């Protein structure tokens, strides 16, 4: 465990208390947010269509972590959770992500066949 000068630094960092508190829902949410942001940045910066697709998967998984954490009886206690709903939602998202990946890969394949590349910046034929 890192020893931090908590008296001086803690008021300055808004989430610094996470470092000292036991693992809870908030930690999972932070991981989900990091994943989500990484996914968004990936989508916005990658020119490769497959890279954009991976960014989408990261965003979806970030959301999944939130679902699982909030729905978990170990983290929040039996009374506070909503039963299996969180996990169920995560399963739905995984299924949807698989379907979406199938469709997106088909688009990518067709796009490659048509244009000869999978650079998304080249997909600008419908620009107004």
Partner 1 sequence: MLVAWLAPLAAFVAAAIVPTIEHRRRGRVSIATARAVAQVATACSVLSLGLALVALAAWVWRGSDQPPIVGDWFRFVRVGPLDLSAGYCLDTLSVVMTTVVTLVATCVHVYARGYFTEEMAPEGVVDSEVLSGTLPLQREGRLHRFYQHLSLFLFSMLGLVLSGNLAMTFVFWELVGLSSYLLIGFYYEREAAANAASKAMLVNRLADVGLLLGMIALWNATGGLVFIDGEGGGLLSAGQALRESGGANYRMLCWAGLGLFCGCLGKSAQFPLWTWLPDAMQGPTPVSALVHSATMVAAGVFLIGRVYPLLTPEVLVIVASVGALTLLIGAVLACAAADFKRVLAFSTISQLGYMMLAMGLGGWVAGIFHLMTHAMFKSLLFLAAGAVIHATHSGDLAQLGGLRQRMPRTAWLTGIGVLAIMGAGIPGLGLGLSGFYSKDLIFEQAIGFYRANSWAGWLLVAPTIGAALTAFYMGRLWLLTFAGKPRSVAAAEAHEAAPTLLLPMLVLAALAISAGWTLPGLNASLAALLDAGSPAPHQLTVGTLWPEAVIPGAHDHHAPGIKLRAGLLALGATAAGLALVGISRLRGRLANPLGAGVVQALDLRTLPAINRGFATSVRSCGTFLAEAIDRWTIDNSLIGFTRGLWRGGVALHRIETGSLRHYIVFLVLGVVFLGSLAILAVV
Binding site for partner 1 (CB under 8 A): 40, 43-47, 52, 120-121, 123-124, 126-128
Q: Which is nearer to partner 1, 77 or 128 (CB)?
A: 128
Backbone angles phi, psi at 5, to 5 degrees: -70, 80
Q: Are 70 and 58 in contact (CB under 8 A)?
A: no
Q: Which is nearer to partner 1, 47 or 115 (CB)?
A: 47
DSSP string for residues in 45-93: H--BHHHHHHHHHHHHHHHHHHHHHHT-HHHH-TTTS-TTHHHHHHHHH
- Shortest CB 13 distance to partner 1, Å: 20
- Shortest CB 40 distance to partner 1, Å: 6
- Shortest CB 81 distance to partner 1, Å: 25
Backbone angles phi, psi at 48, to 5 degrees: -75, 130
SS3 label, residue 99: helix
Q: Which is nearer to partner 1, 1 or 126 (CB)?
A: 126
- Shortest CB 121 distance to partner 1, Å: 6
């Amino acid at each position: 465990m890192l020893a931090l000068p908590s008296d001086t630094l803690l008021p300055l960092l808004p989430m610094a208390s996470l470092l000292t508190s036991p693992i809870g829902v908030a930690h999972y949410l932070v991981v989900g947010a990091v994943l989500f942001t990484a996914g968004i940045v990936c989508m916005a910066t990658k020119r490769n269509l497959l890279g954009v697709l991976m960014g989408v998967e990261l965003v979806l998984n970030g959301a999944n972590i939130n679902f699982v954490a909030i729905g978990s009886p170990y983290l929040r206690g039996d009374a506070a959770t909503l039963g299996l709903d969180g996990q169920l939602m995560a399963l739905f998202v995984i299924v949807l992500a698989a379907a979406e990946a199938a469709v997106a890969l088909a688009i990518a394949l067709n796009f490659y066949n048509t244009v000869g590349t999978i650079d998304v910046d080249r997909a600008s034929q419908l620009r107004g």
